[in-house]
Amino acid sequence: MADPVAGIAGSAAKSVRPFRSSEAYVEAMKEDLAEWLNALYGLGLPSGGEGFLTGLATGTTLCQHANAVTEAARALAAARPARGVAFQAHSVVPGSFMARDNVATFIGWCRTELGVPEVLMFETEDLVLRKNEKSVVLCLLEVARRGARLGLLAPRLVQFEQEIERELRAAPPAPSAPAAEEDATEIATVAGAPARGPRMTPSDLRNLDELVREILGYCTCPDQFPMIKVSEGKYRVGDSSLLIFVRVLRSHVMVRVGGGWDTLEHYLDKHDPCRCSSSGQSYLRTSNQVHSKSLSSSGIVTQ
């Protein structure tokens, strides 16, 4: 009979460690983008695993959204995007020539019409063969930001960004304090576009504080990495005056970092000296074990 205590411990490890990986924020963004596209177009895109990108692999939804953004720009007399796209909308099979052509058409529109920076672009094979999920997700999030400026529905993360930008603009300047990481990208909203920032309820904020304390509690060192609450959803971290904005996205605690997002767990893994050391030691142990097994299988005995 299986040990129930060991089973609980194993489940806990699985629930914690994946959200500390460098790819955890990609999963969080996929969930958010799936919900956003489902709301816009009445789709049934799954939010987890490879299902989200598989559902977009025909390129039809992407091209449909490109035309929706173009129509919104025309309605507001915005300069760009000026032209939509022509695409195959029916009987498109993922991985087929038509699917690849649709995806390539959307990519070209992002570059030429929307002006998405090259660093945020992806290639056709990244989506069709799911070679690089991160590039696809980052590009789609940027496309969502551009559409939100034209009044289209925004994903939850983009709504959070708008909320944070409003808070930053409303706050009095503090020249003596270092600029927050999040103040790197200004959202220029087109005049007349409706604000779609979500309001955080007292329940959301209470859960946020509890989740932050829980994640900080993963470290059992006598001197824990300081993370002090300044106001609702805003914390001061480390020994500096650096401020970060934290939000809850379903089961994820997200941190606004520069022009993007990270999970709080991974952010602490990179900034908390204790966690950085633990991650490095864990990596070295794993590497040594793999190396030892390789040598053993080659008939080389290690001491």
CATH number for position 273: 3.30.920.20
Other residues' Cβ atoms within 10 Å of the Cβ of residue 11: 10
**pLDDT higher at 76 or 266:** 76
Q: What is the pLDDT of residues 31-40, one digit of tens each?
A: 999 999 999 9
Query: What are the φ/ψ torsions at residue 229 (nearest 5 degrees)?
Result: -70, 125
How many angstroms separate the CA atoms of 182 and 15, rounded?
28
Number of helical H runs and strand E runs in the chain = 11, 5
Please tell me the pTM assigned to this model.
0.73
If asked whether residues 150 and 240 sit together in one domain, one would say no
128 touches 103 (CB < 8 A) = yes
Q: Is the peptide bond preceding residue 81 cis, with omega within 30 degrees of 0? A: yes
CATH number for position 41: 1.10.418.10
Domain count of the chain?
A: 2
Confidence (pLDDT) at 159: 95
Confidence (pLDDT) at 43: 92
Averaged pLDDT of the chain: 77
Q: Per-residue confidence at 270, pLDDT binned at 50, 70, 90?
A: confident
Domain encompassing residue 228: 203-277
Of the residues 131, 154, 177, the one at which a domain ends:
154
How many angstroms separate the CA atoms of 56 and 190, rounded?
28
Q: What is the pLDDT of residues 184-234, one digit of tens each?
A: 333 333 333 334 444 434 445 458 888 888 888 887 777 778 888 999 899
Query: What per-residue string of b and e applies to 271-301 under the rule 16 or more CB within 10 Å gives b?
Result: bbeebeeeeeeeeeeeeeeeeeeeeeeeeee
Other residues' Cβ atoms within 10 Å of the Cβ of residue 113: 19
Using DSSP's 3-state secondary structure scheme, residue 80 falls into coil
If asked whether residues 207 and 150 sit together in one domain, one would say no
If asked whether residues 126 and 232 sit together in one domain, one would say no
Confidence (pLDDT) at 102: 98
- Does the residue 122 lie in any domain? yes
Query: What per-residue string of b and e applies to 121-158 under the rule 16 or more CB within 10 Å gives b?
Result: bbebebbbeeeebebbbbbbbbbbbbbbbbbbbbbbbb
Q: Among 78-82, 148-152, 204-208, 277-281, which stretch is predicted with the lowest mean pLDDT? A: 277-281
Query: What's the mean pLDDT in 104-130?
Result: 96
